[in-house]
Structure 1
Amino acid sequence: MTAATYQYVDLPDASVVTTRALLRARENITDTVAARAMMCIHGGAGFGKTLAVNTCLRELEPGEDVRRVTFRARPTARAVRYELFAALGLPGAPPRRPSEFDRLLKAALAEKPRTLVVDEAQWLNGEAFEYFRYLWDDPATRLAIVFVGGEGCHTVLRREPMLSSRIFIWQHFTRLTPSEVLEVVPLFHPIWADADPADIAFADSRAAHGNFRNWARLTAHVRIGLARTGRPRVDTEVLRWAFSRLGTAA
């Protein structure tokens, strides 16, 4: 897998590691898409949710039409309509009247099976969630929806009983446990492959804390430290230097 898979940092030679959470996500997403259902993947920032979803969706049956929408603020139903119009690549100008807009979107979603990934779903409010439910509930649409969001996503969704009662699968992403860290980090990047397990545990306890995004940032700095010092493998001195760059007390 390319380094671009890991968000916010360019990390050559990084690999996607098949964690237990990713295996569960693969199974859950596959079942959700097959059922044309809705699911929610939620958890803290940097725990690997988006990475897992992107990896699993690439493994779906060839021809599965996957579209993504992302919201950074609390959108209205009108904003959701426009985002879907763009995501579906519909021609012409968006309709001005809500009723016409709704008919257009439902017609497009009825053309063939589609999977919609709604990222940063914790930003959605009741109006926006209700609009997704409205589209999914239409008997003509053949729509699977994967909501992906932070810790608040589960809470927000649960406040919408009409939608939450229709969620097929809930999956909560958590931090890697210390034992999982020792299993997966040596597979994550070559610099950790021959590292002392004690150094990996030290790095996790002081800087990464079972968070894959933290591990990606730490790995990028450790790579620089090894290249500049010419050292062949990770040691506590290089780790402490990397910690200092991350603002982490050694």
Structure 2
Amino acid sequence: MSVLYGHLKECGEGDAGVSLASVYRAVHRELASGRVLPDGAVVRQERVGRETRQALADLAVAGAGAGTPSASAAAGAAGLRHAAREAAGVADVPGVVLPMGARAVRAASVRAVAEAVGQAMAAGGAGCVFGDAGRGKTVALRMALSDPPAGWRVSWVRVPVRPSVSELRRTVFEALVLPGRFPHRSAEADERIVGAVDEARVLVVVEAQRLPVPCLEYLQSLWGHPHARMALVLCGAGSERAVARVPQLASRICAWQEVVRLAVGEVAAAVPVFHPLWAGVAGGEVAWIDQSCTHGVFRIWAALTTYLQSALVTVPDAMVGRELLGRLFRRLSPPA
């Protein structure tokens, strides 16, 4: 209001009995009558545009047109879906550690996560990938985003234990690989972070269930900034419950994706692709292993594969059978 009053004085209208208090009253009267000042109109237009892009993504419809961020993101979503159907296994996925000789398997959950992330990218919105521990949420995201669409960058934020907003701010700053040292002033750090997300970027927050409400509100403020062009993906076992504590963020999630346990049929198809050790095992034995120990959880399958490899190397004349597997099961299960 002071700037507006100064402008009126420079234009020669300040001598006509218009005081700063009169300017305040006039603006208040316009707002009270339901009118919106120009700056407010710009903000509302941006909000409507974001909601429209989100609705388009929910309907799996491409964005507005070629050359726009929404259109390029929609093309990227289609590319992610196509890549998820290409092969049954991938030997090398950046950021994923596998047992020796293993391959990451493109199970149905990987395809579902790729589609959910593609929707979030198309909408410039937020997504939540959740499910019990060990089901492969992070691996599915790594596979889906291993080759992002042209013009998009991916930043991975691993949430520390019991973070404060200051700690999360620093973690985001480092994940964006911004040049220079982390600023001491939070306002300067936020300014540099917002400048970095002013480009097509996917910000993946791993272990999001650790985030308290103030940290979730901070991430929402970054994602909702008028200049931000990023898609926010929250991932973790229990992340859906953490997001639910912030209704204004939960209501803006455009893609909820649960990663479930592998079904028996999926296990029989995926395990031989995962590692050659299981290629010669009969389907009935694979089903027995899954029922007795792994229960459709890929993390347990990976641990069992590592233990079996070690046993075959260190135990003379070791054979893959129920006796050996039974001993390994006890190593993988807590005492009753």
1:171 is aligned to 257
Aligned 1:1-250 pairs, distance under 5 A: 1-2=91-92, 7=97, 11-110=99-198, 112-150=199-237, 152-227=238-313, 228-230=315-317, 234-247=320-333
Tell me the SS of whatever aligns to 1:117. strand
Question: Could you say what the CA RMSD is over the residues aligned between the two structures, in angstroms?
Answer: 2.1
Deviation at 1:230, TM superposition (A): 4.4
Q: Give the number of the structure whose alpha-carbon radius of gyration is greater.
A: 2
In structure 1, distance between residues paired with 2:189 and 2:311: 55
Displacement after TM superposition at 1:179 (Å): 2.3
CA distance in 1, matches of 2:188, 2:96: 40
Distance of 2:96 and 2:326 partners within structure 1: 23
Task: Give the counterpart letter for 1:216 in structure 2.
Answer: A
Aligned length: 244
CA contact (8 A) 2:93 2:142 kept: no
1:170-229 deviations in whole A, cap 9, x for unaligned?
Answer: 011121122221221122111111201121112112221111000001111222333444
User: How far apart, in 2, do the equivalents of 1:164 and 1:3 lie?
Assistant: 30
Paired letter, 1:154? E
What 5-or-longer segments of structure 1 have no aligned partner?
Answer: none
Larger relative contact order (CA 8 Å, sep ≥ 6):
1
Deviation larger for 211-220 or 87-96: 87-96
Q: Which has the higher mean CA deviation after the structures are superposed, 47-56 or 101-110?
A: 101-110
Describe the superposition over 1:99-122 as per-residue Cα deviations: whole angstroms up to 9, x where unpaired. Answer: 332222212211x21111100000
The residue matched to 2:104 in structure 1 has which SS? coil
Q: Distance in 1 between matches of 2:151 and 2:276?
A: 34
Moved more, 113-122 or 58-67: 58-67
The one-letter code sitting in structure 2 at the alignment partner of 1:21 is S
The one-letter code sitting in structure 1 at the alignment partner of 2:206 is D
Provide the TM-score with structure 2 as the length reference: 0.67
* Shift, 1:73, TM fit: 1.5
User: CA deviation digits over 1:133-152, x for unaligned, max 9?
Assistant: 101111111111111111x2
Partner of 2:204, secondary structure, is strand
Seen in structure 2, the aligned counterparts of structure 1 residues 218 and 167 have a Cα distance that, compared at 3 Å, is: same
Contact 2:105 2:274 in 1 (8 A): yes
Structure 2: runs of 5+ lacking an equivalent: 1-90
Q: d(CA) in 2 for partners of 1:229 and 1:209?
A: 29
